[in-house]
Structure 1
């Protein structure tokens, strides 16, 4: 049994089984700044390599197209010369392929990497060449490569590419068949493309070097920029690490209007809510301990001295029950005030203010033998929490009952004043001293004139009314009733009626 329990506890221990916890230190070693930089470098490196590769591809395609145009131009010129030209010595058409090729080649001026030649096959089958006496700066020119010349001459294609260890040759030819059956001569144009391709490769390498330098510069700039951008995030992290339950006063300075500033504002708002929540919690504990200590002491004292006399026991039970009821009301009021810090404390809905005022009047009449009067209602519809406003108004009515005597007038009503809705309870009691006008809305505080032997509450009623009013983004106003007494008024913002409804 002990072994099984230990195994269960070990399994439930998050420090031994949670993979997230185990990997957190390793994950934290790579900061957000480094991750941003790595992603930026990866994207830029791929983009720059793609640009350089695409540029090389375009340049190579341009070289191939230019060579093709050159070969087409040269072979076209020879074909036109063969068709329309004549021997300058005789003035007649050429009768010999050798003579045709010799005259044409004498008139040509080949480019640097271009070779123009004539190939003539004699009666003995030997392939002889005709060319201008010029050199070409390649490892193995075509005019020195007998095997390459034979392969080009024997090829049935008019153009092609000859791959050799010494370098590639792009060629084109025009055959001359004066004997009839087989071509006994051919005009050949050969272009050595290595130099052109090497120029393209040099441009490609230069682009790679420039891209590398740009990548290094971007790395430095991005490192600095990422540090400046993420500096507020580090401030947020540091502040969060320094915040404790005992110190929630630290705030983050907000600069600018960007996303980081919005993050700082959100974090500060969260700290405000936490501070209010912890303050409310501490206040709740302090208030509960302070206010419940007296009834607990009373209950304990009566129980300790309770004798065997039935009458004494009945009186003690009555007193204990009364104190327990008072403690129950205090706890309920404290819980209600604690809920006032929650966003769902007030749930506004469309409500008829006239109906609400009438309901409050009907409920208040049962609180005591007073001259209750409904003096006016606001016939409007507004967005408010019907139950919470009713609770606040009934509490004000109960407060008025506690500070009046039977037969005195208590007036309840509602009205529209500009952009506000006012719901009020006015009594004819002793009123409130100016010095007490503020403190009576605090928890466990009572005014001197209106609180005394009659006051049996814990001093939470008006604090609850204030919390409900502030939950509606309104306030509680205390004023003197004409002729004597006090008037408590809930001042709320009048929201427009929903579209399509007549108020």
Structure 2
């Protein structure tokens, strides 16, 4: 901005000085032309008679002229002829300056004076029929005219300087307010570590800086969630793997040389390693559940999905598997994840029922959501476990399990993660005649409207 003002000042000064030069030259020439016209007429306006003396001609003309502040009008004919008007540092008081103008061969020129250069324009005159010669001169003190320009430029420079300082002050204040959120971003970023990621930037207003703050906060939320998932995974792995590792180490430490003892120990180690592998797989599923691409919904036939699940779960155990209800609609879900959740619920039902018991599965779709469920006739869920059974490592009461194996308590957590990834929910309720019903409600975008649910062939009523 300073460079711009300086450039404008120099340009404006050059323009004004050039204008002064033209105005001085034009003004002097105009005065000379007026005198030439007056001399050409040659009539004294007071008497009406022709002029017979050049001094009278020049004096009469000068009496009717009103020069500007820095303009001088004078004549010469056997001596100086001038007005009573004078200027400070009157150059006409110096005979040398007057002689330099009168005796100059040209009609225009510049002569130095104590007050600066004086520009002049001269007209030589003779009366008709006479030999006497005189001269009329219009002169300007150029330096004084230019001084006014410099005063103007100085005033403009002073005003510009004040305006520049004021603009800088305003810009500093405005820039400070604009950049304040950016400083918050920088300071917050400097303060954030893996253990201190809860800081957020205050969002003020609705401008681009506010949007930047919101975007930065969203990024911090994602990082916080990622770190939380990482810590959860590490904590879960340490919590759940400690027991099988301890078992494996204990058996290996006491293993003797007896072949039967070795075989028994290797079987225990193999079983525990398999259990650790399942635990790690489950933990990885739960960790991936926090990622946006954990589920990939696609239009799916609810009937085909339910029938496929019914076919798969029959290999889980010797139970009477009943397809209780099946919908005709097309829903938008992730087939693999929903199948995974239903198989996990079926596995849970197998663990709490005996051979030959009935396990029912079904799925229907309403206007806003699809419901998938697995129902058994086992011991049910104790009331105190209903609210916590879907939590991580929550095994609930295991008294009704039909074998001595106890899971890691992650299966139902995976079911809940799959439901939440679909923006749905999980639920459990005890059946009136015994057993429990586990289900998933998943919001869907129906690709085909007007469908209805129907009982499957041989199925009982939906409880």
TM-score interval, smaller chain: 0.7 to 0.9
Q: Could you say if the C-alpha distance between residues 68 and 373 of structure 1 is closer, same or farther in structure 2, counting changes exceeding 3 Å?
A: farther
Q: Distance in 2 between matches of 1:385 and 1:172?
A: 101
| Partner of residue 112, structure 1 | 69
Corresponding residue number in structure 2 for 1:78 = 35
SS at match of 1:417: coil
CA contact (8 A) 2:398 2:406 kept: no
Shifted more, 55-64 versus 105-114: the winner is: 55-64
Q: Is the 8 A contact 1:409 1:427 kept in 2?
A: yes
Structure 1 match to 2:83: 132
Q: 1:489 aligns with which of 439, 443, 446?
A: 439
RMSD: 4.1
Note the alpha carbon deviations across 1:349-395, whole angstroms, 9 max, x for none: 5432535444444433443344141622352353x544433333332
Residue 324 of structure 1 deviates from its aligned partner by: 0.9
Does structure 2 retain, via aligned residues, the 8 Å contact 1:427–1:485?
yes
Q: Partner residue of 1:27?
A: none
TM-score by length of 2: 0.77
Pick the aligned partner of 1:467 from 405, 409, 417.
417
Question: Does the aligned pair in 2 maintain the 1:361–1:374 contact within 8 Å?
Answer: no
Establish whether residue 149 from structure 1 lines up as the match of residue 106 from structure 2. no
| CA distance in structure 2 between the aligned counterparts of 1:88 and 1:460, rounded to whole angstroms | 125
Distance 1:84 1:389 in 2: 118
1:409 paired to 2:366: no
More divergent stretch after superposition (462-471 vs 131-140) = 131-140
Q: Deviations over 1:180-209 (max 9, x none)?
A: 9xx966543222232332233223223333
Task: Give, in whole Å, the separation in 1 of the partners of 2:338 and 2:109.
Answer: 96
1:380 paired with 2:330, answer: yes
Structure 2 counterparts to residues 82-93 of structure 1, below 5 A: 82-84=39-41, 86-88=43-45, 91=48
Give the 3 Å change call, closer, same or farther, for CA 450–140 of structure 1 in structure 2.
farther
**Structure with bigger RCO (C-alpha 8 Å, 6+ apart):** 2
* CA separation of 1:176 and 1:461: change in aligned 2, threshold 3 A: farther
Counterpart of 2:250 in structure 1 is 301
Residue 268 (structure 1) shift: 4.2
Give the secondary structure class of the aligned counterpart of 1:149. Answer: helix
Cα distance 1:66–1:285, how it changes in 2: closer, same or farther (>3 A)? same
Matches within 5 A, 1:333-344: 333-344=282-293
Give 1:330 shift: 0.7
Moved more, 200-209 or 318-327: 200-209
Instruction: Please say if residues 72 and 86 of structure 2, whose CA atoms lie closer than 8 Å, have aligned partners that are also in contact.
Output: no
Aligned to 1:345: 294
1:493 Cα offset (Å): 3.3
Q: What is the Cα deviation at residue 230 of structure 1? A: 4.7
User: Which structure's CA Rg is the greater one?
Assistant: 2
Deviation at 1:130, TM superposition (A): 3.9
Aligned residues: 444
Using the alignment, how far apart are the partners of 1:231 and 1:412 within structure 2? 58
2: CA distance between counterparts of 1:289 and 1:415? 40
Please tell me whether the aligned partners of residues 403 and 430 of structure 1 are also in contact (alpha carbons under 8 angstroms).
yes
Alignment match, 2:150: 201
Which of 357, 371, 377 aligns to 1:422? It is 371
What per-residue deviation string (whole Å, max 9, x for no partner) do you get for residues 137-157 of structure 1? 2474597524752586514xx
- 2:241 corresponds to 1:292: yes
Deviations 1:326-364 (A, max 9, x none): 111111111222223334434x45432535444444433
Q: Deviations over 1:466-501 (max 9, x none)?
A: 223323333323344565443333333334769xx9
In structure 2, relative to structure 1, the CA distance for the partners of 1:449 and 1:293 (3 Å cut) is closer
**Range 91-100 or range 365-374, more displaced:** 91-100
From the superposition, tell whether residues 336 and 79 of structure 1 become closer, same or farther in structure 2 (CA, over 3 Å). Answer: farther
Mapping of residues 96-107 of structure 1, within 5 Å: 100-107=57-64
Aligned to 1:437: 386
Residues 101 and 130, structure 1, Cα contact 8 Å, conserved in 2: yes
Q: 1:200 to 1:487 in 2, by over 3 A?
A: farther
Per the normalisation by structure 1, the TM-score is: 0.72
Alignment of 1:283 with 2:223, yes or no, is no
Q: Structure 1 pair 175/222, CA: closer, same or farther in 2 (3 Å)?
A: same
1:301: Cα distance to partner? 3.1
Residues 94 and 461 (structure 1), Cα distance of their counterparts in 2 relative to 1, 3 Å cut: farther
Partner SS state of residue 389, structure 2: helix
How far apart, in 2, do the equivalents of 1:317 and 1:369 lie? 29
CA distance in 2, matches of 1:119, 1:359: 126
CA contact (8 A) 1:116 1:131 kept: yes
Residue 464 (structure 1) shift: 1.7
Kindly tell me: are residues 411 and 118 of structure 1, through their superposed partners in 2, closer, same or farther at Cα, counting changes over 3 Å?
A: same
Corresponding residue of 1:328: 277
Q: Note the residue ranges of structure 1 that are not aligned, 5 or more in a row.
A: 1-42, 123-127
